[in-house]
């Protein structure tokens, strides 16, 4: 015997039967039992008040109470203590009803020995504990302010809390068994079913921002965190989602983006006037310029150009976010495009002692795309490798694949930390470190690259190992079809 004794309250008015059960429990070798005995329900309830009792074993038919009423009177005041009922052969139906209403089990008198009795009582305690725990967890979920939704692997809703009722406007009973797709606008369904759910099965958890629909059809932005539910062997059984309404944040972001768009647009005019006037003074149009003056003016021109590039980047971001980036597509050979860029970057490469290697699957790799925009993508990736990597080699690769072209720019530099790698495509994201403090940048380049590649119907991602290097890879479809421009970046 080990551990603490199980404290049993036995309510039984027939002395012999009571003695039998008491002896059976006390003789039990494997587990220790302490038995308190009451002959009436009244006395039993008194002992329960005094406590502590782990489990009640009670006859249904007592001198002061009969039938299911006996169970109710125990359970209403002590619902957390498991109750096992003792019944006669003819009370089976009543006992079953009691189990349905919260009793843990019932035993037919005369059909039990000490071993069975001991096991039934211990199981009753354990089951009660598990039920309490489940109830407690269900209560927590029900009371969470945000929406919690569970679904099976096919996407049929299996659970729906009060937060979900409030957020979506559907009562729990209305949605149980319905398919999740009813919560998305039609245009999002494809993404959710063919991209999000398979990814979730692969990775186990996924968080993203989506447009969802309320009951009355109103769309709203939600931040959705999904995780896979698994059985004890680790096999997926369903998914749990946690949704928060982020419409306010999205509205604020939009007005900030609109503001940035308008301001950048307004800056462009005066900036070109300033540039023109400085150039004219530098060219001596208004009289001779001393060497010192010329040096200052050239510095000014450099700053004006940099400001101009930032304004252009901000405008690009604003356009991409509004889905207004118009692509001027034409036949473009990516190999010659990169060759030209190598020429352009050669002074910088030389200055830093970096070697740039270009490899292509074919002498020319043609696609239908916006050449200027792809120059922007390659320029930023090559520019970043020169600025940040501290590596000695940059390799650009262009591969003609099936239906798409795969390009990459890799360096042999310091690499990017895994946590940062997931965020480098976000706007204004710059990794705080030594190199970066020396290097100028706004943190818009990669966000624009992603926007441009997305707008072409392609995909961009990065792979990196610390102190070994970073590889930025993007795919572009070869087809000329005008693909819808995706809204929102990073
Ligand atoms: N090849 C690389 N190696 C190491 N870090 C990199 C590399 N490329 C980008 N990064 C990091 O990612 C950040 C984001 O790059 P991004 O091109 O978006 O911005 P930026 O170059 O700083 O500014 P901008 O491109 O707007 O002038 C950089 O600030 C840098 O910290
Ligand atoms: Mg950059």
- Whether 5 has a pLDDT exceeding 50, the answer reads yes
The binding-site residues of ligand 1, defined as CB within 6 angstroms of any ligand atom, are 313, 380, 384-385, 388-389, 411, 413-414, 416, 424, 429-431, 436, 441-447, 470
For 361-376, how does the pLDDT look when each residue is reduced to its tens digit (9 = 90+)?
Answer: 999 999 999 999 999 9
Query: In which band, very low, low, confident or very high, does the pLDDT at 3 lie, cut at 50, 70 and 90?
Result: low
Atom of ligand 1 nearest to the CA of 445: 25
- Whether 483 has a pLDDT exceeding 70, the answer reads no
- Whether 189 has a pLDDT exceeding 80, the answer reads no
- Whether 281 has a pLDDT exceeding 90, the answer reads yes
- Whether 446 has a pLDDT exceeding 80, the answer reads yes
Nearest CA to ligand 1 atom 3: 389
Ligand 1 test: best mutation among 441, 442, 453, 489, most atoms within 8 Å of CB? 441
Distance (Å) from CA 436 to ligand 1 centroid = 8
When the pLDDT of each residue in the chain is averaged and rounded to a whole number, the result is 88
Query: In which band, very low, low, confident or very high, does the pLDDT at 2 lie, cut at 50, 70 and 90?
Result: very low
Q: What average pLDDT does this structure show over 73-91?
A: 89
Who wins on pLDDT, 216 or 435?
216
Rounded distance between C-alpha atoms, residue 419 and residue 432, angstroms: 13
- Whether 428 has a pLDDT exceeding 90, the answer reads no
Q: What average pLDDT does this structure show over 121-143?
A: 89
Atom of ligand 1 nearest to the CA of 448: 18
Nearest CA to ligand 1 atom 19: 443
Work out the angle between the directed axes of helices 371-388 and 334-352 (0-180°, nearest 10). 30
The conformational region for residue 439 under phi > 0 = left, psi -120 to 50 = alpha, else beta, is beta
Q: What average pLDDT does this structure show over 174-181?
A: 90
Please compute, for residue 448, the number of CA atoms within 13 A of its CA located in the half-sphere on the CB side.
Answer: 27
Query: In which band, very low, low, confident or very high, does the pLDDT at 435 lie, cut at 50, 70 and 90?
Result: low
- Whether 65 has a pLDDT exceeding 70, the answer reads yes
Q: Which ligand is nearest to the CA of 385?
A: 1
SS3 for the chain is: CCCCCEEEEEECCCHHHHHHHHHHHHHCCCCCEEEEEECCHHHHHHHHHHCCCCEEEEECCECCECCHHHHHHHHHHCCCCCEEEEECHHHHHHHHHHHHCCCCEEEECCCCCHHHHHHHHHHHHHHHHHHHHHHHHHHHHHHCCCEEEEEECCCEEEEECHHHHHHHCCCHHHHCCCEHHHHCCHHHHHHHHHHHHHHHHHHCEEEEEEEEECCCCCEEEEEEEEEEEECCCCCEEEEEEEEEECHHHHHHHHHHHHHHHHHHHHHHHHHHHHHHHHHHHHCCCCCCCCHHHHHHHHHHHHHHHHHHHHHHHHHHHHHHHCCCCCCCCEEEEHHHHHHHHHHHHHHHHHHHCCEEEEEECCCCCEEEECHHHHHHHHHHHHHHHHHHCCCCEEEEEEEECCCEEEEEEEECCCCCCHHHHCCCCCCCCCCCCHHHHHCCCCCCHHHHHHHHHHHCCCEEEEEEECCCEEEEEEEEECCCCCCCCCCCCC
For 312-327, how does the pLDDT look when each residue is reduced to its tens digit (9 = 90+)?
Answer: 888 888 888 777 788 8
User: What's the confidence (pLDDT) of residue 437?
Assistant: 62
Rounded distance between C-alpha atoms, residue 343 and residue 348, angstroms: 10
CB atoms within 10 A of CB 356: 20
- Whether 486 has a pLDDT exceeding 50, the answer reads no
Rounded distance between C-alpha atoms, residue 132 and residue 48, angstroms: 19
Distance (Å) from CA 405 to ligand 2 centroid = 23
For 16-61, how does the pLDDT look when each residue is reduced to its tens digit (9 = 90+)?
Answer: 889 999 998 888 878 889 999 999 999 999 999 998 999 999 999 9
Percent of the chain with pLDDT over 70: 95
122, burial (CB in 10 Å: exposed 0-12, middle 13-18, buried 19+)? middle
The token pair that represents 81 in the structure block: 């203590």
The CA–CA distances, whole Å, from 102 to 29, 89, 96, 135 equal: 30, 21, 10, 13
Nearest CA to ligand 1 atom 17: 445
For 222-260, how does the pLDDT look when each residue is reduced to its tens digit (9 = 90+)?
Answer: 998 999 999 889 888 999 999 999 999 988 888 887 888
Distance (Å) from CA 339 to ligand 2 centroid = 20
Who wins on pLDDT, 423 or 479?
423
């Amino acid at each position: 015997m080990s551990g603490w004794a199980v404290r049993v309250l036995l309510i039984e008015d027939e002395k012999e039967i009571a003695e039998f059960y008491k002896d059976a429990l006390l003789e039990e070798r494997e587990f220790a039992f302490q038995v308190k005995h009451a002959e009436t329900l009244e006395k039993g309830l008194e002992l329960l008040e005094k406590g502590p009792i782990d489990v009640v074993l009670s006859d249904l038919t007592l001198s002061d109470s009969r039938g299911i009423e006996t169970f109710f009177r125990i359970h209403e005041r002590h619902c957390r203590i498991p109750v096992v009922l003792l019944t006669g052969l003819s009370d089976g139906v009543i006992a079953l009803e009691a189990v349905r209403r919260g009793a843990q089990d019932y035993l037919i008198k005369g059909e039990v020995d000490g071993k069975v009795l001991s096991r039934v009582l211990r199981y009753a305690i354990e089951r009660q504990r598990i039920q309490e725990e489940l109830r407690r967890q269900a209560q927590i979920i029900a009371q969470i302010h945000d929406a919690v939704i569970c679904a099976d692997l096919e996407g049929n809703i299996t659970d729906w809390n009060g937060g979900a009722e409030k957020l979506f406007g559907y009562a729990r009973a209305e949605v149980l068994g319905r398919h999740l797709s009813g919560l998305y606008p039609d245009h999002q369904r494809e993404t959710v079913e063919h991209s999000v759910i398979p990814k979730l099965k692969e990775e186990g958890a996924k968080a993203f921002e989506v447009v969802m629909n309320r009951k009355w059809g109103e769309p709203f932005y939600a931040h959705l965190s999904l995780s896979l539910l698994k059985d004890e062997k680790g096999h997926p059984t369903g998914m749990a989602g946690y949704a928060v309404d982020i419409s306010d944040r999205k509205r604020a972001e939009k007005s900030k983006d609109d503001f940035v768009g308008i301001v950048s647009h307004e800056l462009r005019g005066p900036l070109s006037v300033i540039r023109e006037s400085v150039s004219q003074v530098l060219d001596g149009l208004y009289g001779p310029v001393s060497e010192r003056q010329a040096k200052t003016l050239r510095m000014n021109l450099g700053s004006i150009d940099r400001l101009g590039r930032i304004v252009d980047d901000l405008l690009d971001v604003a356009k991409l976010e509004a889905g207004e980036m118009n692509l001027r597509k034409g036949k473009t050979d990516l190999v010659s495009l990169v060759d030209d860029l190598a020429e352009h970057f050669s002074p910088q490469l030389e200055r830093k002692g970096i070697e740039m290697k270009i490899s292509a699957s074919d002498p020319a790799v043609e696609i239908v795309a916006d050449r200027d925009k792809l120059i922007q993508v390659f320029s930023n990736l090559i520019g970043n490798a020169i600025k940040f990597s501290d590596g000695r080699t940059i390799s650009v690769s262009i591969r003609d694949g099936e239906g798409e072209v795969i390009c990459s720019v890799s360096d042999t530099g310091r690499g990017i930390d895994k946590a940062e790698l997931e965020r480098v495509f976000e706007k204004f994201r710059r990794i705080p470190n030594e190199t970066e403090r020396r290097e100028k940048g706004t943190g818009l380049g990669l966000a624009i690259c992603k926007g441009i590649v997305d707008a072409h119907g392609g995909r961009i991602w990065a792979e990196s190992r610390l102190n070994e290097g970073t590889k930025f890879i993007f795919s572009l479809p070869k087809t000329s079809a005008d693909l819808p421009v995706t809204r929102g970046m990073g």
